Amino acid sequence: MTWTKVKLGNYIDVFTGYPFKSKEFNIDGLGMRLVRGKNVTKGNLRWGDDTRYWEDIDENTKKYLLKEDDVVIGMDGSLVGQNYTRIKKGDLPLLLVQRVAALRAKKDINQKYIYYLIDNTNFINYVSSIKTGTSIPHISAKQIKEFEFFLPPYQEQIRIVELLEPLYQKIEVNNNISKSLNDIANAIFKNWFLDFDVLDVDGLSFKTSNDKLVDSELGLIPKGWEIKKIGDFINITDYVANGSFASLKENVNTSDANGYAILIRLVDYKRNFKGPFVYVDEKGYNFLKKSKLNGGEIIISNVGANAGTVFKAPKLEKPMTLGPNSIMLEDNKYNNFIYYYLTSHNGQESIKGILGGSAQPKFNKTDFRNLKIILPSDTIIENFNKIMDPVVSRLQTVSQENNKIKTLRDSLLTKLIAGEIRIPKAEEEVEECLQKSN
């Protein structure tokens, strides 16, 4: 049967959220959660500090209740067209707020299939070509409806959904494993190094033994611990450590074309290291010898609106080197400790304290090196690493597995949506991938 070129708006309803008054939001869990633009990220709803509730539910607001498998898209911001997800049963009940669009099947199209259309480079490229606004890019419901694609017969849509859904489910399982492991690691870090509820060499908790705490310039700290500058115990470098701006310009050539090594940037982290990447040639890679990456190094963005964002270098199949506007930290002994400190509330507040610049927030390498931190004894660090090393190893394994599944999913999704691959062939690739991940 033939695939017909159609406009999305002929097969779905697109509705935008209600203009709830922000001054009437609450953070106390009263009523229903609101889906605002800042809650929508690629493939997920983000809650935490961004969670807001609406208590007064009436017949008018009920019109904006979301349903399972509704596809929601953020309509504003620098990542417009890239922040989208589908609503899971466990998320409900939810109310939709203005400047977020919800897509719901109307006729002859499967609701899950709609998400596959949106989670596709064709749609992302379409939005990039038609979005309006320079300071705050945005799209309209009408523009979403105008998206054109080839629609397969309904039964073939079902087969594509049944084929791809196990990949999405496996990715979600792995994401949940990663979240659980990180939650455990963060809880242990807070317990030991922020609350000081960790045992000393005598088997006593610093927290419950008053004589085990001593005064310091940062307040009470466990006896035997020190106040140190971060730069005194961990190696810190960046892109410009390799030479002057003139020498960097002369020796480092970047390209969007597939090259020798990948220049790792904050935007790559935001894209889950799926690309597209910026590359350097072999000469440039060798020149950037002070900022080569092997995977696992701590990277911190130090320029722009997201200055202070902390992430770890991935393990990719090509050589990697650090891009501009970031610093890199590496020390096998303190890597676990410093990573969980910098991602904690205390660590983020320390970084905020050295941010300068009004138009463009930033901090420099020297100020970061001079940040003072409570450094535990060697014995405590060793015990922490014994617990954390297996956790970090498992996180890396799950991340690498997810990257492989996502690569296959994205490849098959693009080909299946375009009708470039037949389902039997795709089934073989899915089965092989899932067998390797089990």
**Tens-place pLDDT, residues 403-428:** 889 888 888 888 888 778 878 888 88
Q: Tokens 């406009």: give the residue.
A: 7
What pTM, to 2 d.p., does this model score?
Answer: 0.81
Distance CA 315, CA 370 (A): 30
> C-alpha 247: how far from its chain's center?
33
Contact by Cβ (8 Å): 64, 56? no
Q: What are phi and psi of 48, to 5 degrees?
A: 60, -130
The angle at the Cα of 326, spanning 321 to 327, to the nearest 5 degrees, equals: 85
Q: In the structure, what pLDDT confidence band is assigned to residue 253 with cuts at 50, 70 and 90? A: very high
- Which pLDDT score, from 0 to 100, does residue 208 have? 65
- Which pLDDT score, from 0 to 100, does residue 339 have? 96
Q: In the structure, what pLDDT confidence band is assigned to residue 13 with cuts at 50, 70 and 90? A: very high
Domain boundaries, the chain: 4-151, 226-375
CATH 3.90.220.20 fits 226-375, yes or no: yes
Pairwise pLDDT comparison (373 vs 56), residue with the higher score? 373
Q: In what helix (H) or strand (E) does residue 208 lie, and over which residues does it extend?
A: none
Contact by Cβ (8 Å): 263, 278? yes
Q: What is the pLDDT of residues 362-416, one digit of tens each?
A: 999 999 999 999 999 999 999 999 999 999 999 989 988 888 898 888 888 888 8
The DSSP line for 239-307 is GGGGS-HHHHHHH--EESS--SEEEE-HHHHHTTT-S--EEE-HHHHHHTGGGEE-S--EEEE-BSTTT
Query: Do the domains 4-151 and 226-375 sit in the same CATH topology, yes or no?
Result: yes
Q: Tokens 């393990």: give the residue.
A: 315
- Which pLDDT score, from 0 to 100, does residue 433 have? 79
pLDDT mean over 221-248? 94
Question: Residue 190 has what DSSP assignment?
Answer: I
Three-class secondary structure assignment of 329-389:
EECCCCHHHHHHHHCCHHHHHHHHCCCECCCCCECCHHHHHCCEEEECCHHHHHHHHHHHH
Q: What are phi and psi of 65, to 5 degrees?
A: -70, 135
Three-class secondary structure assignment of 11-75:
CEEEEECECCCHHHCECCCCCEEEECHHHEECCEECCHHHCCEECCCCCCHHHHECCCCCEEEEC
pLDDT mean over 102-107? 95
Q: What is the pLDDT of residues 186-209, one digit of tens each?
A: 999 999 999 988 766 555 566 666
Question: Could you tell me the CATH superfamily of domain 4-151?
Answer: DNA methylase specificity domains (3.90.220.20)
Q: What is the pLDDT of residues 281-333, one digit of tens each?
A: 999 999 999 999 999 999 999 999 899 999 999 888 899 999 999 999 988 89
Contact by Cβ (8 Å): 67, 95? no
What's the alpha-carbon Rg for the chain, to the nearest Å?
25
The DSSP line for 218-256 is TS-EETT-EEEEGGGTSEEEEGGGGS-HHHHHHH--EES
- Which pLDDT score, from 0 to 100, does residue 210 have? 63
- Which pLDDT score, from 0 to 100, does residue 278 have? 95
pLDDT mean over 144-150? 94
The percentage of the chain sitting over the pLDDT mark of 70, rounded to a whole number, equals 96
Distance CA 363, CA 356 (A): 6
Provide the mean pLDDT of the chain: 90
The residue among 242, 265, 355 whose CA lies nearest residue 305 is 355
Q: How far is CA 238 from CA 73, 268, 326, 329, 342, in A?
A: 36, 17, 6, 9, 17
pLDDT mean over 345-359? 90
Pairwise pLDDT comparison (407 vs 437), residue with the higher score? 407
Number of C-beta neighbours around residue 208 at 10 A:
9
pLDDT mean over 10-16? 95
Instruction: List all residues 6 or more positions away from 224 whose beta carbon is below 8 Å from its beta carbon.
Output: 200, 377
The DSSP line for 109-121 is S-HHHHHHHHSSH
pLDDT mean over 70-81? 88
pLDDT mean over 258-279? 90
- Which pLDDT score, from 0 to 100, does residue 270 have? 84
